[in-house]
Amino acid sequence: MRISLAADLVGVPAHVLRHWEDEGVLRPSRRSGKRRDFTDQHVNEARIIHRLRQAGIGLAEIRELRSTPAGHRSARLTASAERMAAEANRLGAAAAFLRHTAECEHPVIDECRQCRDYAIAGGLRAARGRP
């Protein structure tokens, strides 16, 4: 299929698929010289790349994951998944804090146990060397 149809199916502009190819994370086949030919497999790979990008994973990391030998891939994928889970936990805690502060009636953080606990938890992570 042509790049325009593949891009529509993935939900990105065609230039994004060209960029991913330039970056080595997507490898469509070529037909009649320069024309790209996307298969259903290429479209599904592009969909996964798109979702990983939406999750904040950079093209360099995606390229590294794709090029990692099968015997080492599991450890890399697990490490990436654990890093994302930790980030999700940090974001979830921040979202809960923001929801709380939207209704918190205490003018000073120390007067509110939830606000104080959130501040302390961040300090404990920093003291342990975690972001």
Specify the pLDDT at position 122: 66
Structure tokens at 100: 């709380």
Strand partners for 31: 35
Specify the pLDDT at position 40: 96
How far apart (Å, rounded) are the C-alpha atoms in residues 7 and 131?
36
pLDDT higher than threshold 80 for residue 16: yes
CB contact set of 53 (below 8 Å; sequence gap of 6+): 59, 62
pLDDT in tens, 57-110: 899 999 988 888 888 888 888 888 898 899 888 888 888 888 887 888 877 777
Q: What percent of the chain has pLDDT over 90?
A: 41
How far apart (Å, rounded) are the C-alpha atoms in residues 108 and 110?
6
